[in-house]
Structure 1
Amino acid sequence: MVKVSPGCSSATPNWADRKHAERIRDKIAASKMKGMWMGGVVPLGYRVDNRKLVIDETEAQTVRHLFARYLTLKSVQGLVDEVASDGLSTRSRQRKDGSIAVTMPFGRGNLYHLLSNPICIGKIRHKDQVYDGEHEAIVTSATFEAAQALLASQAPPRRRQSNVTQPHLLTGLIVDEAGEKLRSVHANKQGVRYRYYVSKQFVDRRRNGSEGWRLPARAVESTVEHRLNRILGDHAQLSDWIRQWADAGKIQSAMRRADEMRQCWASGTGDTKRSLLQKNRSQDHPQAGIIDHRTGSPLAIGVASRPEPATRR
């Protein structure tokens, strides 16, 4: 029998949660070593039958076509442009009400993932290890290896482990007027790195004249930091907001928390600031993030009105 002292009782549930999480991770790792697919988004080219991946021949033809065209074009962006002009799109699905979900065009991100995913040759990946899977392959190993060699030859060299000299502070937190998250990108010109937040459609179809948002990261982040410091230091405004979203009895503790956040922000690194933003974003409006000023929540920090559409350069 184990006795738990009062001072340790509060830590016991956390310890039990960690042990439970470790057991789940161990079970997943063991199952993947046996080649079992452990769920999640069903890969293109497959469907699920009795919790196992089975080849969907219609989608498999699309996957084989994408591999073949990539090896011919030798460019992921060229493949993006070609499949867009051909009208190819990712999997459509039927909702519970019978309607068909709108399909999305192939972009660089999902094509990179498709071309580098060993699941299409009958393998299962777990972290850095790859195991023989229970499912059948869609493409041959020779085709897949040729694609990996071409992808590796086109990858830019990493200058440091993180490959980021100035990380984007607001990655995943800025949305446009349609509620779509902006992507973090950068460009190098004469040895200087310029960082931006841009619309997804502008990244995926930039060669087809698509319009989108293209915001300079340094200016946006500076505005956000200034606005956040002003909000955290304005106790009267915070009190008004808290009365709208919580009990008045929580005002004092919220004020203390705001002061702690402000001090932590002032002395924190980029990683610390990014962690603070992620942890304290609005839980009631997760899609609004912290930048969409239309929500009116305490952490909705207005940056600017709608920017001008990005132009091709």
Structure 2
Amino acid sequence: MKKTRCAIYTRKSSEDGLEQDFNSLDAQREACAAYVLSQASEGWSLLPDRYDDGGLSGGSLERPALQRILADVAANKIDIIVVYKVDRLTRSLLDFAKLVEAFDKAGTSFVSVTQSFNTTTSMGRLTLNMLLSFAQFEREVTAERIRDKIAASKAKGMWMGGTPPLGYQPNGRTLAIVDDHAAIVRNIYLRYAELGNVRVVAEQLVRDGIRSPDRISGAGRRFGGRQFTRGQIYHILKNPIYVGDIEHRGETYDGQHPAIIDRALWNEVHKRLKSNLRGMRCARAANPSPLSGKLFDHDGEPLIPVHACKGKVRYRYYVSRSLQHHGAIAGTIGMRVPAREIEAQVTELLAGLFNDAATLAGKLRVSAADYPALVARCDTIAQDLRQQKTALPEFADQVRLLPDRIDVEISTARLAAELNIRGSECTPTITLSADVRPKRSGGIVRLVHSDGRSPEASRPSSSLINLVAKAHRWWKQLTQGECDITELARIEGVTASYVTRVVRLAFLSPATVGAILQGRQRTGVTTTGLTIGRDIPMLWSAQANQLV
């Protein structure tokens, strides 16, 4: 008689009673083992391995014992899976379909010892699906009851578990104040009420050596003991727990726990938080920052993408990780580079690489047979890059922003795959360099060429052109005697001092004016710089040295 290998699977949703000598899992296994023994005449034999999932829901397949039994099924070690009831295996119709597919593929069947049906017939399959539908319905109803109970309990101000906020510890269905921790919370609220700036509050906490205290979660995990981040401070300032309230799904209820912060201080802090909100939320960009995870400075520190919104305009930057994560620490040095500038330089470098197909073929050791296809593919890629029809290619492994240049490191293997050619005996990487260096301008690092030109030299500034045109128009009005400076200022709605500072731009050399019209002015030459605090030399050659 053929031997039929049987494995018993047991499951219990909660952990209640699992510590007992004889628990629900043991009862299920005993009933299943008796059933297997009753089928000994048919060649059934019980495998010694135990597959028990205690305290795990049947709404998911992510259960250790279930995954082990599925692995053994796939390895053809099990012929029949025996369960006490079908819902012990799963309570989801979709998951059950996946299990049946896996069982059928391995030639394994399953048996429920308390439910008799034959899945080889249409009626048997209908009966099984009905049982599973009721099991899934029971699970969903139970979940709804739990959610309703939590909502009703929070409406009464009860604490319903989880990690307690800083300053509290669990005390049954409420919270008790931890005096040492509560003092830190009050300190943060008082500092913000005085300063009105979370960044400054974080700087002061670092300066005074105030850190988040060490705590242990209910699961025994230790956390805390670090400097307060701005996100943590915002969370503390916005948490209604500290004023004695309980929040649930956007609704706030009077809590049963004592307050750490009085209502007057809470209202003052939230008034300042609301007044400090600027701009509006911007939708997530459709295209992520292409240099994310690839851009590094000369010390090897990554620059991470960030953005800011002003009105409907989105400004993107790449910021040193230390500056972004530890910006509250005084003296932190880092970079903040406009994303459009650095991305444009990298794109231009890559496009230039594909424009010189002959040099690229030499670097990749391309055969003569592949050269025509390489040329055609290079033209397409270069055009797509410049027209921004494609994202930054995967073969661009790393971009390094060095003090005197920008380096782009390219994987030759991935580059050859992109070009659909066979590169042989070539170096693992190719490094491209651009004669563009970072230059700090206030809190932002701008990119400039070694001669001081902006990389965006081909883009004339309309504001600068309009300012120079205004200077010539005003000078013409003054020289023709149409009005004096005071009258001109009144007509234009500006001050006489501003008219004087603008009019002097009418004496710029033709070469300097031509450079502004062509966008060849130096980085940092702006309308503000030309009208405020900049002495413009009268000598035309000196003007060119300073402005062009």
Q: TM-score range by the shorter chain?
A: 0.5 to 0.7
Give the 3-state SS of the residue equivalent to 2:215 in structure 1.
coil
* Paired positions, count: 222
Q: How far 1:66 moved relative to its partner?
A: 0.9
Using the TM superposition, give the Cα deviation of residue 90 of structure 1 relative to its aligned residue in structure 2, in angstroms.
1.4
Distance 2:198 2:287 in 1: 24
Which of 271, 278, 281 in structure 2 is aligned with 1:149?
Answer: 271
In structure 2, how many angstroms separate the alpha carbons of the residues matched to 1:47 and 1:186? Answer: 38
Give, as a single letter, the amino acid of the residue that structure 2 aligns with 1:166: A
Matched position secondary structure for 1:193: strand
Counterpart mapping for 1:61-140 below 5 A: 61-93=183-215, 103-140=225-262
Deviation of the 1:50 alpha carbon: 3.4
Q: CA deviation at 1:49?
A: 2.9
Q: Which residue is 1:37 aligned to?
A: 159
Structure 1 unaligned spans of 5+: 220-300
TM-score when normalising by structure 2: 0.34
Q: CA deviation at 1:54?
A: 0.4
Distance 1:307 1:206, change over 3 A: farther
- 1:175 is displaced (CA, Å) by 12
Give the aligned partner of residue 186 of structure 1: 307
Root-mean-square deviation (Å): 4.5
Aligned 1:1-313 pairs, distance under 5 A: 5=126, 9=130, 12=133, 14-93=136-215, 103-158=225-280, 163-164=282-283, 166=285, 185-188=306-309, 192-195=313-316, 201-206=322-327, 208-210=330-332, 304-305=397-398, 313=444
- Larger RCO of the pair (alpha carbons < 8 Å, separation 6+): 1
What is the identity, as a one-letter code, of the residue corresponding to 1:108?
R
Matched-pair contact (CA < 8 Å) for 1:48–1:54:
yes
Q: 1:101 to 1:26 in 2, by over 3 A?
A: closer
Deviation of 1:53 (Å)? 1.0
Amino acid of the residue matched to residue 163 of structure 2? V
Cα deviations by residue, 1:45-74 (Å, 9 ceiling, x for unpaired): 112233531011111111111111101111
Note the alpha carbon deviations across 1:125-160, whole angstroms, 9 max, x for none. Answer: 1122111111100010000011111100111243xx
Amino acid at match of 1:37: W
Residues 1:95 and 1:125: Cα distance change in structure 2 (over 3 Å): closer
Kindly state the Cα deviation for residue 10 of structure 1 after the two structures are TM-superposed: 9.3
Q: Which has the higher strand share?
A: 2
What amino acid is aligned across from residue 182 of structure 2 in structure 1? Answer: A
* CA distance 1:304–1:144, shift in 2 (3 Å): farther
Q: Which has the larger radius of gyration?
A: 2
Output the CA distance in 2 between the equivalents of 1:303 and 1:20.
Answer: 52
Do the aligned partners of residues 31 and 105 (structure 1) sit closer, same or farther apart at CA in structure 2, a change above 3 Å counting?
same
Deviations 1:199-222 (A, max 9, x none): 775324325344679898897xxx
Distance (Å, rounded) in 2 between the aligned partners of 1:122 and 1:45 = 12
Contact 1:36 1:133 in 2 (8 A): yes
What fraction of aligned residue pairs are identical, expressed as a percent? 35
SS at match of 1:206: coil
Provide closer, same or farther for how the CA distance between residues 157 and 21 of structure 1 changes in structure 2, counting only shifts above 3 A: farther
Cα separation, partners in 2 of 1:135 and 1:184, compared to 1, 3 Å: farther
Which residue in the other structure is 2:113 paired with? none
